[in-house]
Every structure is written in structure tokens, then in C-alpha cells.
Structure 1
Amino acid sequence: MKITLEELRAWVTVVDTGSITAAAEQLHQTSSGISRALSRLESKLQTTLLHRTTRRLALTEEGTIFLEHARQILASVEQAEEQIAQRREMPAGRLRVNAATPFMLHVIVPLVAEFTEAYPLIQLELNTDDVLIDLLEQQTDIAIRIGELRDSSIRARSLGCSRLRLMATPAYLARHGTPRSVEELAQHRLIGFTQAEPHNTWPIWRQEGELLHIKPDLAASSGETIRQLVLAHQGIARMSDFVTHQDVANGRLVQVLEAETRDVRLPVNAVYYRNSTLSSRITCFLDFLQQKIDASKLL
């Protein structure tokens, strides 16, 4: 049988206080409970640690040797508990965050300086993937996922929903004309994703009353690549507001078919493992991110 911390504390406290009765009072236990803990400890070690008389307790040679080790063990445990408590008050350690490239570049990266100033003991590790990843395999603490969640083994915290719009540059529209109806989109170069549904479903109705599904003339696997293609005047694309808000504000992009566009939004979630207890660094990052997203109205 293995020695327990309870037995070590009882043993060291008896030595420090000089009696079983005093140790029991200090540890808020009964004298019989402390006595049994000492007996179990000596039985596990197969040696006598204390000579006990009616007047005093005396350490054996083995007891003197073991006492030093017991103190070191208890001190290490107390130090570990103190460090964990400090981390709760001032979160610390490495935090691995994974997100699709557009969300990382347009939402998280602009907040890094402020976050690291507020939490200087957290070391951020930012990774981008435009496909779903295995959190354990990639050693990821938090992953930002856009769209409906299908994995029941993870926990999720909603960060909001991002509205979808059709966007193009003023230069592209000046050269190729501005579409006035859904039918006129056939006359334009449509930029979409290499993946199938639902990435190429656009937030406008077809005549049959269903959302339009396009076959892209120009396709890319990354939302950021699609943004760069649109900014290069290569066509019209469906994009999320969190990707385009700065471009719209600066006049680089304009909305196309605004009157025909439906209010379609993609859920944005921060996910982590269901069986994990949230560390303080994960909690503070999610709280910080949520606060900034709400303030900026990005989602």
C-alpha cells in the first residue's frame, strides 16, 4: 500500500507538536485517528518511527531520516498548491489557440497586444487551419469553429453569429457592371470554396425559394485567399462580416445585391474537450475575446 499525504501530515504534526493529542487538535481530528494514521505509516514502512511513552515521544534513527523526506514532500505539495492558487489569480502558462485563417487574422491577431498586456504570464501559441482539427492530436486548448457543430465529444461556448454578404470591389463592378438581379450573377465571375456544401451556398433566394448554391468559376480552400482574390478585382464572393468590416469601412469592398440578400448567419463557437476542466488561462481568454467581440459588434 502506498503512503498517503494524510499519514505524512499526521506524522510530521505529531513530531512538531510533541504529542498525538496536540496534533489531533491542530489537524481537527481525533487522537485515535492520528494514532491509527501513525500505525498505518509504520506498517507500510515496516519500521518504527517513534518510541512512545506516557511522557514523551522520541524519534528513532529511521524516524529522523524519514522526517526530512516527509517535510520535503509536504513542502513540495504546498508549493504546488500555492502556484495553482496564484495562477487562478494571475493566469499563466502556454495557451494554444487554433482558428481558420480569416478569423485568426481579422479577429484574434488585432487583440493580441492588448491581451498580452493584460495577461503577461500567458504565452499564446496561435495556429491556423482551414479544416477541422483533432484538438488532442494538435495539442490545442481552444479551437474557433465557424458553422454548425457536429462533434458531441467537445464542449462549446458561443461567441456569436457572423452574417454573410456578397462582396466585390468598386473597380470590379465598374469594369464588369453591377448585377441588379440574381439572374445577372451568371454574367459575373463567382469566387467560392473548393469544399462542397454549405460553403458555396449564398444568402440569396433562387426563384424556387431556396438559397442559391453556386458552382464557383474561381475556387480556393481558404476564406482569406478568397478575400485576397476579391480585393484583386477577380470577382464576387460570399464573405463573413468579421472578414470584411475593415474593407467595407475603408471603401475597398461594397455589398452586391443588398436588397436580395437574406439575413443568413453562421454560428461561431470556441470549442474544447468535454472532459476537461477549464483552466484559468482558457477562461480569461474566452472572456476577453467575448468582451471585445461584443464591443466591436463583429458578430
Structure 2
Amino acid sequence: MKVTISELYTFISIVHQGTISQAAEHLEITVSAASRALSRLESKLNTALFRRNTRRLELTEEGAKYLSKVRLILDDLEAAEDMLLHRKQTPSGKLRIDAATPYMLHVIAPLIDQYSRSYPKIEIELVNNENLIDLLEQRTDVAIRIGELKDSSLTATPIGLSQIRILASPDYLAKHGTPTTVTQLADHQLLGFSGIEKLNEWPIYDDFNNRLHIQPNIKADSGETLRQLALCGAGIVCLFDFMTRQDIETGLLVQLFTHSTLKVEKPINIVYYRNKELSKRVSSFIEFMKQKIKK
């Protein structure tokens, strides 16, 4: 083989980090070493893998095709290492976990210390992405996805369901009154999502017997931001139980339309690529989460 494993890892890191300098920092090597590794790789392949611009490096068509093959090669290499580690029955190595900020903060982060103590040889890296990512391109082992899955190339393990509820703080209700009908919501400050309109569909019927689709007075692209706005008394919000359960239990948020709220539960899955053999570190995290998550 003309190319080296080091050159392949440098290539993958540049794709992930976006620039040679950031890749060098990630790999803990000098910028010049990373640049030379990329130059050697392109020279050996007689192919330009990136288009250069002033801000980031973008993959060429050839580079994108090469990336998919390289990831498979490196995955097989890691699987071979994991096979040997299996014999010791001790999960180890880096585990990169991706989730949207609210799920990371309210579910995963509180459990990480316990997981880390159970598997001290696993190096954990937590990544927050509000949108779906390519697990191979981002070198991510597992991701938490909420809602119906679309990527059929991923293997999914369900770990629970989460209801959505309409909520407001006691302070907001004391100042503005408590709406008891859907029509009265028009007189209130509504907090909703920007970008994904489906998330502004609330679990209650409107006057035409359809699911209520709100027009938010205040929008945000993060459920955690909307939660903080609601806690501050900025308006009425609709959020998942996994991020508001403690707020409801402590009285910081109050559920509205309790008797007319529809049962709308979204599935929560851990997704990952399964090759010939699932790595011990990935399977350990999946089993741990299945045991700990409240159904």
C-alpha cells in the first residue's frame, strides 16, 4: 500500500475539522506536518482531494468518494483492534457521542460520570449537534436521535419514548392568566422553534379539529433556549418530558390543557453503523443507556 495509516487519519481529521491548522491541533501535530501528510497523500494518489478557499477546505468529488472508502478501511482496522480487546472483556478506546443540546444536558451528561466509572478505560467525547450529522464523516460512534428515523443505513436501538406537553411558568400565568381554551392562546406570548415548522405543531386540537400549529411570538432554534425563556416567564412553550420532567416536578413549569393534551410520544433511538462486529465500547454504552433511561 502506497499510503500510510497516519496519512489517512490526517485526511479524515482535515475533513472533520475543516482546516489543516485545526486538524493539526486535533491530532496534536504541527501544521507543517499535517500539510506535508496531505501533500504526500495527494501526490501518491495523483489526485486533488480538496478545493482550497480562504476559509475552509472542501472535498472534491474524488475526495468525497475516497473518504467513504477510507472510513471503511479505518473502521475495519478499529474493529480488528476491538476484536483483540474483546478477549480481555474490557471496553476501551475513544467513544464519540453525538446528541442535540437538550438531550445531552438533561439525559446524557447526568449519567456520564456513572458510565465512566463503570468503564474507566473508555475515553469519552461528547458532541452537540442540533441537526443530523453523517456519523462516518464526523467519526462519531453513536448518536441520539429523537423522532422517526430516515437513514436506513444506520442501525438503531430504541431506548424510550418522550411525550410533549404545553407548559408555562407560574410567574407567567400569574401575570397573564391561564388559558383554558385553544382560542385564548391567541392572546398569549407563544414560544416556538425556528427552522423546523413541524416542531411548532402542539399536542392539542384547534377549533377545526386539527393539530394546533402555532405562529410563535418568539422563536429559537434550540429547545434548551425555549426552556430557559419559559422558565424566565417569557411565554408558553411545548417541550419534551426528558428536558422538563424535573421542572414540572419542582413546580418551575406548569402543564396546561392537561385533560385535552393528546398522547404524542416521540421515539428516542441510539443510532450507529454496525459492521461485522459491534465494538465493545459502543455496545457497553447502548446497554448502559437502555438500563438507565426512564421509559
Q: What TM-score comes out, normalization by structure 2 length? A: 0.70
Query: Equivalent residue for 2:132?
Result: 132
Query: Equivalent residue for 1:76?
Result: none
The superposition leaves residues 36-91 of structure 1 with CA deviations (integer Å, 9 ceiling, x where unpaired) of xxxxxxxxxxxxxxxxxxxxxxxxxxxxxxxxxxxxxxxxxxxx69842345x111
* Closer/same/farther in 2, CA of residues 103 and 121 from structure 1, 3 Å limit: same
1:207 equivalent to 2:207? Answer yes
* Closer/same/farther in 2, CA of residues 139 and 107 from structure 1, 3 Å limit: same
State the Cα distance separating 1:249 from its structure 2 match. Answer: 1.4
After the TM superposition, which residues 28-67 of structure 1 pair with which residues of structure 2 at under 5 Å, given as runs?
none
The superposition leaves residues 100-132 of structure 1 with CA deviations (integer Å, 9 ceiling, x where unpaired) of 001000000000111111110111100011111
Identity between Structure 1 and Structure 2 (%): 49
After the TM superposition, which residues 111-122 of structure 1 pair with which residues of structure 2 at under 5 Å, given as runs?
111-122=111-122
Query: Equivalent residue for 2:218?
Result: 218
Query: Equivalent residue for 1:60?
Result: none
Query: Equivalent residue for 1:44?
Result: none
**Structure 2, unaligned runs of 5 or more:** 1-80
- 8 Å contact kept, 1:153–1:274: no
1:192 equivalent to 2:192? Answer yes
CA–CA separation in structure 1 for the residues paired with 2:110 and 2:119:
16
After the TM superposition, which residues 107-186 of structure 1 pair with which residues of structure 2 at under 5 Å, given as runs?
107-186=107-186
Query: Equivalent residue for 2:227?
Result: 227
Query: Equivalent residue for 1:280?
Result: 280
State the Cα distance separating 1:210 from its structure 2 match. Answer: 1.6
Q: What TM-score comes out, normalization by structure 1 length? A: 0.69
- 8 Å contact kept, 2:97–2:140: yes
The superposition leaves residues 239-285 of structure 1 with CA deviations (integer Å, 9 ceiling, x where unpaired) of 00000011111111110111121110111111112546311111110
* Closer/same/farther in 2, CA of residues 82 and 188 from structure 1, 3 Å limit: closer
- SS state at 2:159 partner: strand
The superposition leaves residues 213-239 of structure 1 with CA deviations (integer Å, 9 ceiling, x where unpaired) of 111110000111111111111001110
State the Cα distance separating 1:206 from its structure 2 match. Answer: 1.3
* Closer/same/farther in 2, CA of residues 82 and 156 from structure 1, 3 Å limit: closer
Letter in 1 for 2:241: D
* Closer/same/farther in 2, CA of residues 161 and 219 from structure 1, 3 Å limit: same
* Closer/same/farther in 2, CA of residues 215 and 276 from structure 1, 3 Å limit: farther
The superposition leaves residues 2-60 of structure 1 with CA deviations (integer Å, 9 ceiling, x where unpaired) of xxxxxxxxxxxxxxxxxxxxxxxxxxxxxxxxxxxxxxxxxxxxxxxxxxxxxxxxxxx
* Closer/same/farther in 2, CA of residues 197 and 275 from structure 1, 3 Å limit: farther
- 8 Å contact kept, 1:163–1:266: yes
CA–CA separation in structure 1 for the residues paired with 2:277 and 2:84:
17
Bigger-Rg structure (1/2) = 1
- 8 Å contact kept, 1:91–1:121: yes
* Closer/same/farther in 2, CA of residues 209 and 86 from structure 1, 3 Å limit: same
- SS state at 1:198 partner: helix
Aligned-CA RMSD value: 1.7
Moved beyond 6 Å, runs of 4+: none
State the Cα distance separating 1:169 from its structure 2 match. Answer: 0.5
Query: Equivalent residue for 1:84?
Result: 85
**Structure 1, unaligned runs of 5 or more:** 1-79
- SS state at 1:159 partner: strand
CA–CA separation in structure 2 for the residues paired with 1:121 and 1:166:
42
Query: Equivalent residue for 1:260?
Result: 260
1:239 equivalent to 2:249? Answer no
